[in-house]
Amino acid sequence: MRKQIAAANWKMNLGLEEANNLLDSLVQANIELSGDRETVLAVPFPYLLLAKEKLKGSNNFYVGAQNCYTKENGAFTGEISASMLKSCNVDYVIIGHSERREYFNESNFILFQKIDICLKNNLKPIFCCGESLTVREAEAQNQYVETQLKESLLHLDANEVRNFVIAYEPIWAIGTGKTATADQAQEMHAFIRKVLSEKYGDDVAQSISILYGGSVKAANAKEIFGKPDVDGGLVGGASLNASEFIQIMQSLK
């Protein structure tokens, strides 16, 4: 079975004390996730080491960053490299979140470079893709997402792509309270798997976890995660509340 993942994206939220309390609440809840289920907490950079420390010894909890730079090191004031993240034992990195694409002009080519540097440093990318409302209304979402995949990750070989997680996040559903229906999510996830299968074969395509993101909450997680090609979620707002996120973790199939 593919890995089923509940990934929290805290974005640029929480002060140190609040971050500390949220981590404590998650750890103290002592949720046992069996087998192939895991949780990733993508926290702001200043809290990565704290999260690593707090989650030490907790089963199936991994720590992620929300971004990294395209270069290995050097005179790039304010940036964080993949090798720095690796040296802090970070496990995952979110690459290509729609907020980074929109506010920081991250193109498919920049993301191609970020993916490569993550893999070179043994970090697992959570690659985000997804269409805007305009694209969805024009019924061009499949073509749009396929281009995102082709231009940023389909240059990888089959072994590299196995280290990957993909998150389908329709932009119109992020932070809007407007969730894609479970059927809309399934339809796109099946399409993404077909694109992967055409390039890498069915075995590889079936091994890659594809998460859904966009207003996932405790109330809708079970239905969405229950779909055959949905392998969990990337969760923004609802991941800032311990009991809500714990229920989402418990909704993994």
Q: Catalogue the active-site residues.
A: 97, 169
What's the DSSP call for residue 231? -
Residues 6+ apart with CB under 8 A from 24: 54
Q: Which of these segments, 33-41, 100-108, 188-196, 213-221, binds ligand PEP (CB under 6 A)? A: 213-221
Q: Which of these segments, 20-28, 44-52, 212-220, 241-249, binds ligand PEP (CB under 6 A)? A: 212-220
Contact criterion met (CB below 8 Å) for 58 and 27: yes
Residues of the binding site for substrate:
9-11, 175, 215, 236-237
| Token output for 106 | 């991250």
Between 91 and 169, name the residue whose CB sits nearer to ligand PEP.
169
Q: Which of 96, 130, 170, 213 binds ligand PEP (CB under 6 A)?
A: 213
Distance CA 11, CA 33 (A): 24
One-letter amino acid for residue 207 of the chain: S
Task: Verify binding: residue 170, ligand PEP, rule CB under 6 A.
Answer: no
Between 117 and 234, name the residue whose CB sits nearer to ligand PEP.
234
Q: Which of these segments, 23-31, 51-59, 74-82, 168-176, binds ligand PEP (CB under 6 A)? A: 168-176
Between 126 and 161, name the residue whose CB sits nearer to ligand PEP.
126
Task: Verify binding: residue 81, ligand PEP, rule CB under 6 A.
Answer: no
- DSSP assignment of 165-219, as one string? EEEE--GGGSSSS-PPPHHHHHHHHHHHHHHHHHHH-HHHHHHSEEEEESS--HH
